[in-house]
Amino acid sequence: MTKPDSTSTKMAVEAAESASAIRRQIERCGPLFSVLGTKLRELNPSLVVTCARGSSDHAATYGKYLIETHLGLPVASVGPSVVSLYNTDLKVDGALFVAVSQSGRSPDLLRLAAAAKKGGAYVVAFVNDETSPLAEAADLFIPLCAGPEISVAATKSYLTACFAFLSMVAEWKDDDALRRTASQAPAALSAAAELDWTPALLNLTDKTGLYVIGRGVGTGAIMEMALKCKETCRLHAEAFSAAEVIHGPLALVGPDFPVLAINQNDATAEATRAAIARCVELGAPVFSSDDGVKGVIPLPSVPALAPELAPLAAVQSFYMAIHTVSQRRGLNPDVPANLRKVTETV
């Protein structure tokens, strides 16, 4: 199989560094995650609140499913405007508050984190920029260790943020099996970066929109893929749970409306596979990493991955291809229209 070109854009170069970035995070932050796990077992929070935007929020969604499925705790994503514009006092005494950001500089995230601390939450920050005010404001700061990220489209900072959630949950749960899964992440992402999704995804070059579907722990991944289709390719992509898409959204699916689908080998697999099959039946071009459905356009995947790693590997392979789709559409994936790297909102 032809190796994807990882040198043609900054986005691709940075995405290809994800495995190395995660190795750095393991080496540097392993003791911090151990401390955090012990602290969280002592605190025994009954609620987790996340604070993030864009790709960082998609990483938080991945973390939400890890926390809810492995620890049984509800996770809420609080809109920053609740504090930054509505000036609400948060009542989060005893909660864990996790802020996720590449830059750590957006005023609304800073105000929400401050309000959470004032409201009694234990504030943890997963931030790439170690000099950021968000890192300084947290009770515990854990650097993503992604290194400089120049392309406007986040890649390695997303994957390292996801990995930070995986490490946190493994230590919080004190789960050796989950720790072993986390230790396999660098090899899994290195293998995923070698897989070529480009021939399949180039079918999107002349399209105007698509659905990206998945379920469970894969939800953050489909949200991230849909965002990258928008910002790098100007494709109107919408992410839907495989459970939700079979309701109203299915009305759009057909020969002129493609679907990108991912799956992982867990309790959601068969239900997701049924939704993929329904899209195939409707005549849609369906690109899928799940080869268990007849009629899909196959996307190569790393075999036998734990379900917690499969969505991260899928995103890694996707990153290595979508920048080429962008270029074929006459765009520059490193400098998407109307966007900038550090977005400061209130």
Per-residue pLDDT tens over the stretch 11-36: 999 999 999 999 999 999 999 999 99
To which residue do tokens 């021939």 refer?
Answer: 199
Structure token pair of residue 202: 């180039």
> What is the pLDDT at residue 279?
97
Residue 72, sorted as left (phi over 0), alpha (psi -120 to 50) or beta, turns out to be left
Helix (H, G, I), strand (E, B) or coil at 303: coil
Q: In sequence order, what are the beta bridge partners of 126?
A: 100, 142
pLDDT value, residue 48: 98
Give the separation between CA 148 and CA 259, rounded to whole angstroms: 33
Look up the pTM and report it. Answer: 0.95
Question: In which residue are the tokens 């940075």 written?
Answer: 14
Provide the pLDDT for residue 7: 61
- Report yes or no: 133 and 82 within 8 Å, Cβ to Cβ: no
Residue 40 near residue 167 (C-beta atoms within 8 A): no
Using DSSP's 3-state secondary structure scheme, residue 152 falls into coil
Give the HSE-up count for residue 269: Cα atoms under 13 Å, Cβ half-sphere. 14
Q: Is 7 exposed, middle or buried (0-12, 13-18, 19+ CB in 10 A)?
A: exposed
CA–CA dist 324, 327 (Å, integer): 5
User: Which string of b and e fits 243-273 if b means at least 16 CB within 10 Å?
Assistant: eebbeeebebbeeebbbbbbbbebebbebbb
- Which residue, 189, 165, 142, is CA-closest to 15? 189
What pLDDT, on the 0 to 100 scale, is given for residue 247? 85
pLDDT the model gives residue 339: 55
Q: What letter represents residue 24's amino acid?
A: R
Interatomic CA distance for residues 103 and 61, integer angstroms:
19
**Hey, what domains does the chain have and what are their CATH numbers?**
10-183 (3.40.50.10490), 192-328 (3.40.50.10490)
Q: Is 148 exposed, middle or buried (0-12, 13-18, 19+ CB in 10 A)?
A: exposed
Q: What phi and psi values does residue 98 have, to the nearest 5 degrees?
A: -115, 115
Residues of the chain with pLDDT under 50: 1, 341
Which tokens belong to 346? 């209130």
Reading the block at residue 213, the tokens are 């579907």
Residue in this structure with the two tokens 């105007």, named with its chain if needed: 208
Task: Return the bridge partners of 76, or none.
Answer: 49
| pLDDT attached to residue 341 | 47
Q: What is the pLDDT of residue 340?
A: 54
Q: How far is it between the farthest Cα atoms of the chain? A: 55
For the chain, the distance separating the N- and C-terminal CA atoms, rounded to the nearest angstrom, is 46
